[in-house]
């Protein structure tokens, strides 16, 4: 069953964040993932409006999504991202 990582990022330094986001796609690909949404325009439809960056990544299954997140490569990138943003990530199985 497919799984998705949903991310919301409040970015405090766009240039610094770019040093992280440029290297993420290669790690995503290594785990069979693909981006469905990556920082495009958002429109609030209900509830509190989030004005940061939204990302949706599809993986073949939950094991691949968790493997991506827990990988040594991503953990290094995560540390690089930390000074420039506040991020929420969740993984969810598809239907």
| Domains along the sequence of the chain with CATH | 3-43+53-93 (3.30.70.100)
Report the distance separating Cα 43 and Cα 91, nearest Å: 22
Total residues found in the chain within this entry: 95
73: which 2 tokens? 């490569």
Residues 11-47: tens digit of each pLDDT: 999 999 999 999 999 999 999 999 999 989 999 899 9
Evaluate if pTM is beyond 0.95.
no
């Amino acid at each position: 069953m497919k799984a998705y990582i949903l991310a919301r990022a409040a970015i405090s330094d766009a240039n610094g964040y770019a040093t992280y986001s440029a290297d993420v796609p290669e790690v995503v690909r290594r785990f069979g993932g693909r981006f469905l949404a990556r920082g495009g325009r958002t429109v609030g439809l209900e509830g509190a409006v989030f004005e940061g960056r939204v990302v949706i990544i599809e993986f073949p299954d939950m094991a691949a999504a968790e493997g991506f997140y827990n990988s040594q490569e991503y953990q290094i990138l995560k540390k690089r991202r930390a000074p420039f943003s506040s991020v929420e990530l969740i993984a969810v199985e598809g239907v």
